């Protein structure tokens, strides 16, 4: 075991050629990040998760109710054992051939079966109240952690900075596990990658004593997140003008920090200036490759933001949609199907059919949930 640890913590991988672990030991004059501090992130991540549950239950939910946000979810699909078996065991999106087979088996028309499957998929969508509570928790945390971290940017390294790092790391660990129970979105895989990269970056920068640049990276990326969650909360509360304004502010801050300050200032420092000062070493390459991967994600999300804004403005000019309407974001909340698929054509009445067990096949209208964007 000692041999494995010695191999893992090899100085020539983690540190520049003229630095050893002994140089990073705490003294009376200076304190340095210690790798063993990172172990605190795991119990703290559990505590953050528990605080979140309490916050959403006793703070966010009463606020949502005060804003007349209801807990009503989509309309429940009528019980049907055959369709339920297909939905749970075979497919949630039956093709044309399967639809025709089910139509003959149930004596339903194809349109009614399609409607049942849409309604059954929508049934799994969370209520607006659930969405609001999640956004309010994230807004509160992002606002707190940003204001807590930004004050360290012009201060010497202190123990408080170490606490800030551990808090950020714990939050991302909590997201790694809670995202499997949170509202599922189209970009689940990308967000999973983002959380994983964030954990590696925080860990590498802490162990390498790159806490100064790490703090700057964290603050830059936290600066826009609170605005996004605030825009989503306004959307769920139906404060549309406030929602549009907050989304515009979010887009401006996001693009400025992640396509401007981050690559031109931070990446320039970590890639080129640090090369001249300390020279490249193995963990330096890993750290910068992870930063470049984050920048790739930033470019992808910026493209989505610009696409949403352009679409909103064009629809607003046509009189169909208010500019910057967050609720139609391309990164929708749960289903990968299009909005058109899960909505009824206007002016068309649902078909009525009788199932083999005597229950009504009328599905009524489909209640589509609003969509949102998460960083």
Residue of 15, 125, 108, 18 lying closest to 350 (CA atoms): 108
Q: In the structure, what pLDDT confidence band is assigned to residue 162 with cuts at 50, 70 and 90?
A: confident
Clarify whether residues 307 and 169 are in a common domain. Answer: yes
Least confident of 157-166, 233-242, 264-273, 353-362: 353-362
**Dihedral over Cα of 368, 369, 370, 375: its sign:** negative
SS3 205: helix
Are 249 and 298 members of one domain? Answer: yes
**pTM for the full predicted model:** 0.78
Whether 147 and 114 map to the same domain: the answer is no
Q: What is the CB neighbour count within 10 angstroms for residue 83?
A: 22
83 token code pair: 């369709």
Q: Where are the alpha helices (DSSP H) in 180-256?
A: 188-207, 211-222, 225-236, 240-256
Q: Decide if 167 contacts 369 (C-beta within 8 A).
A: no
The pLDDT, as a whole number, for residue 138 is: 95
Question: Are 207 and 194 within one domain?
Answer: yes
Query: Which of 293, 316, 339 is the last residue before a domain boundary?
Result: 316
Among 56-65, 294-303, 327-336, 356-365, which stretch is predicted with the lowest mean pLDDT? 356-365
Residue ending a domain, choose from 274, 294, 316: 316
Quick one: 304 and 260 in the same domain?
yes
Closest CA to 232 of 311, 317, 367, 142: 142
Residues 165 and 45 in one domain: yes
> Does residue 229 form part of some domain?
yes
Average pLDDT of span 359-373? 32
Looking at residues 94-103, what average pLDDT do you find? 93
Distance CA(192)–CA(213), nearest Å, equals 23
Q: Do 43 and 174 fall into the same domain?
A: yes
Neighbours of 206 (CB within 10 A): 24
Domain assignment present for residue 92? The answer is yes
Q: Are residues 234 and 174 in the same domain?
A: yes
Answer yes or no: is pLDDT of 357 > 50: no
Give the Cα separation of 34 and 345 in Å (integer).
61
Q: Are residues 208 and 286 in the same domain?
A: yes
Please choose, from the candidates 341, 342, 305, 344, the residue with its C-alpha nearest in 3D space to the C-alpha of residue 326.
305
pLDDT of residue 124: 77
Range of the domain at 116: 81-124
Same domain, 110 and 144: no
**Residue that terminates a domain, selected from 273, 296, 316:** 316
CA torsion 20-21-27-32 (nearest 10°) is: 110
Same domain, 162 and 291: yes
Of 67, 214, 178, 81, nearest in space to 128 by CA: 67
How many residues are there in the chain?
375
Asked if 72 and 125 touch (Cβ cutoff 8 Å), the reply is no
Distances from the Cα of 46 to the Cα of 74, 102, 171, 181, 283, angstroms: 32, 46, 9, 14, 29
Residue 174 lies in a domain: yes
Residue 350 lies in a domain: no
pLDDT at 64 over 60: yes
Reduced to 3 states (helix: H, G, I; strand: E, B; else coil), residue 217 is helix
Give the model confidence (pLDDT) of 307-353 as tens digits.
888 887 787 654 444 434 444 444 333 333 333 344 444 344 443 33
Name the band, by pLDDT with cuts 50, 70 and 90, for residue 285: very high
CA distance 217 to 292: 12
Residue 47 phi/psi, 5-degree rounding, is: -65, -40
Cα 286 from Cα 297, distance rounded (Å): 17
Q: What is the 3-state secondary structure (H, E, C) of 301-325?
A: HHHHHHHHHHHHHHHHHCCCCCCCC
What is the domain-level CATH number for residue 114? 1.10.10.60
Domain count, the chain: 2
Residue 11 in domain: no
As a whole number of angstroms, the distance between CA 247 and CA 325 comes to 8
Residues 52-63, mean pLDDT to the nearest whole number? 96
Instruction: Compare 362 and 143 and report the one with higher pLDDT.
Output: 143
Examine the domain organization and report whether 164 and 62 are in the same domain.
yes
Are the C-beta atoms of 261 and 220 separated by less than 8 Å?
yes
Give the burial class of 18: count Cβ atoms within 10 A of its Cβ; 0-12 exposed, 13-18 middle, 19 or more buried: exposed
Instruction: For residue 176, give the nearest of 148, 203, 149, 152 by alpha carbon.
Output: 203
Give the Cα separation of 69 and 337 in Å (integer).
26
pLDDT, position 316: 66
Range with the lowest mean pLDDT among 87-101, 104-118, 258-272, 304-318? 304-318
Higher-scoring residue by pLDDT: 232, 32: 232
Structure tokens at 269: 């420092």
Q: Pick from 264, 175, 285, 276: which is nearest to 216 by CA?
A: 264
Phi first, then psi, for residue 318 (nearest 5°) are -80, 0
Residue 356 lies in a domain: no
CB neighbour class for 294 (10 Å; exposed up to 12, middle 13-18, buried from 19): buried
What are the beta bridge partners of residue 354? 360
What was the pLDDT predicted at 177?
A: 86
């Amino acid at each position: 075991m000692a041999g494995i640890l010695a191999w893992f913590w090899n100085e020539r991988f983690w540190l520049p050629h003229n630095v050893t672990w002994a140089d990073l030991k705490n003294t009376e004059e200076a304190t340095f990040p210690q790798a063993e501090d990172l172990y605190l992130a795991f119990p703290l991540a559990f505590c953050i998760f528990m605080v979140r549950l309490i916050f959403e239950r006793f703070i966010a939910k009463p606020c949502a109710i005060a804003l007349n946000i209801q807990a009503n979810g989509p309309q429940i699909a009528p019980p049907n054992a055959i369709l339920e078996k297909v939905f749970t065991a075979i497919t949630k999106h039956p093709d044309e051939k399967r639809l025709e087979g089910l139509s003959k088996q149930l004596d339903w028309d194809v349109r009614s079966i399609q409607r049942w499957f849409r309604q059954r998929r929508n049934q799994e969508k969370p209520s607006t109240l659930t969405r609001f509570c999640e956004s309010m928790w994230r807004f509160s945390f992002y606002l707190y952690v940003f204001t807590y971290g930004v004050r360290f940017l012009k201060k010497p390294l202190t123990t408080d900075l170490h606490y800030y790092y551990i808090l950020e790391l714990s939050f991302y660990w909590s997201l790694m596990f809670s995202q499997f129970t949170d509202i599922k979105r189209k970009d689940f895989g990308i967000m999973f990658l983002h959380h994983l990269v964030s954990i590696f970056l925080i860990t590498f920068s802490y162990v390498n004593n790159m806490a100064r640049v790490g703090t700057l990276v964290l603050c830059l990326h936290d600066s826009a997140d609170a605005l996004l969650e605030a825009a989503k909360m306004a959307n769920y509360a139906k404060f549309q003008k406030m929602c549009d304004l907050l989304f515009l502010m979010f887009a401006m801050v996001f693009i400025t920090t992640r396509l401007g300050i981050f690559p031109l200032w931070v990446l320039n420092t970590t890639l080129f200036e640090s090369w001249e000062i300390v020279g490249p070493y193995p963990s330096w390459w890993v750290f910068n490759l992870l930063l470049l991967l984050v920048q790739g994600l930033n470019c992808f999300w910026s493209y989505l933001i610009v696409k949403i804004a352009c679409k909103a403005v064009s629809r607003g000019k046509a009189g169909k949609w208010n500019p910057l309407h967050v609720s139609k974001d391309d990164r929708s909340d749960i289903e990968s199907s299009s909005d058109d698929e899960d909505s009824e054509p206007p002016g068309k009445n649902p078909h009525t059919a009788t199932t083999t067990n005597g229950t009504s096949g009328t599905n009524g209208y489909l209640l589509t949930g609003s969509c949102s964007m998460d960083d």
